[in-house]
Amino acid sequence: MKIGLFQFRAKWEDKKTNKSRITKLLESSDIRGIDWIIFCEMTLSGYTNNLKVSTLNEDDINFFINISKKYHVNVSFGGVENKYNRFITLDRSGRRIAQYSKINLFHIAKEDKYYRRGKELIVFDMEGFKVAPFICFDLRFPINFWKLSNCATLYVVIAAWPYVRISHWINLLCARAIENQAYVIGVNSIGEDLNGNEYRGYSLCYSPLGEMILDFQSREGIGIVDINPELVYEIRNNFPLKK
């Protein structure tokens, strides 16, 4: 499966500008053959506790539905619904096939004061993979990754991970891949929020052996990886950690 990790320089709390930027980058990118495009946490607003901006409206949802239909591609994006910080996935026809609500809220930034805590881990099917979605701060809590490791073959983490702690992001994504013997993808934000926190991307993909397949660093556009679920089963059969 070919997956596009979409990075763009966001303008915080400005959905109109961010939609325009995403549209231009898609139009200028070669996405032929891509099966799935993944965007970062709170894609259109940037990470914020401002519910008026972070909450998705009908036009916002339709923006991503139109991307799915226009390019005939699966799409995942972040945004807020009913006070839940969500990771939403659409199929190639724009139909919602999965949604995950962030469980580990970033209390240091008072996220727990504004948003509801998700309660359910999920795994969904995507082009031959069993995908476990997570959001940002979830990455620091390996137990929930372990709980899904008997079935998940690909973990995807969308985030707004500040550059000041980017080494944690890089190393924790690698660790999750090694300990669960699964592919791990992380899609991060670029830009500067209203509090002066800087985000520089570094969207990544690791193999089930912890080998770095892609480091998109701070580029804008789509970083493409081509991965195969059969490798996961091969590695797990040859080195059965779970036993």
What pTM value is reported for the model? 0.98
- Sign of the CA dihedral running 106, 112, 116, 120: positive
CB 224 within 8 Å of CB 34: yes
Q: Which two tokens stand for residue 188?
A: 């991060």
Look-up of token digits 């804008």 = 220
Three-class DSSP category at 159: coil
E strand intervals along the chain = 2-7, 36-38, 74-81, 84-90, 96-101, 124-126, 129-135, 154-158, 183-187, 190-192, 198-200, 204-206, 212-215, 221-226
For the chain (243 residues), the mean pLDDT of every run of 10, in chain order, is: 98 98 97 96 98 98 98 98 98 98 97 98 98 98 97 98 98 98 98 97 98 98 98 97 86
pLDDT at 150: 93
Within a 10 A sphere around the Cβ of 212, how many other Cβ atoms?
A: 13
Q: Domain residues of the chain, as ranges?
A: 2-238
| Of residues 218, 221, 216, the one with CA closest to residue 200 | 218
pLDDT at 242: 84
Rounded to whole angstroms, how far apart are CA atoms 102 and 54? Answer: 14
Q: Which homologous superfamily does the CATH classification assign to the domain defined by 2-238?
A: Carbon-nitrogen hydrolase (3.60.110.10)
Task: Tell me which amino acid residue 42 is.
Answer: M
